[in-house]
């Protein structure tokens, strides 16, 4: 059964390839959703898939790509979106 989370990643996460990196990680886990930069210099998004894949994705978000310095990741469960076919940035 699909589940969906909203996430916010804080730290040095803009200008370090974080969106492309997280898109690749999400796609490799079979997740759909999106990621984007936020005006407060964080990265925000939503991810949808099975709970195991979402948990792995959040683990990846906590690490980030090599140049990133993640200080915090917040997530919350939200309603599933129908008819979504990919993870976009």
Please pick, among 37, 51, 72, 82, the residue that the annotation labels catalytic.
37
- The whole-angstrom separation of Cα 88 and Cα 81 is 14
Please pick, among 4, 17, 19, 82, the residue that the annotation labels catalytic.
19
Q: How many CA atoms lie within 13 A of 50 on its CB side?
A: 5
Active site residue 37: yes
Catalytic residues: 19, 37
């Amino acid at each position: 059964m699909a589940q969906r989370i909203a996430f916010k990643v804080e730290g040095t996460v803009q200008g370090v390839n974080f969106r492309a990196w997280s898109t690749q990680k999400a796609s490799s886990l079979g997740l759909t959703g999106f990621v984007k930069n936020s005006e407060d210099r964080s990265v925000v998004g939503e991810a949808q898939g099975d709970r195991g894949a979402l948990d792995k994705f959040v683990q990846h978000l906590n690490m980030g790509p090599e140049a990133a310095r993640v200080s915090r990741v917040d997530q919350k469960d939200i309603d599933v979106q129908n008819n979504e076919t990919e993870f976009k940035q």
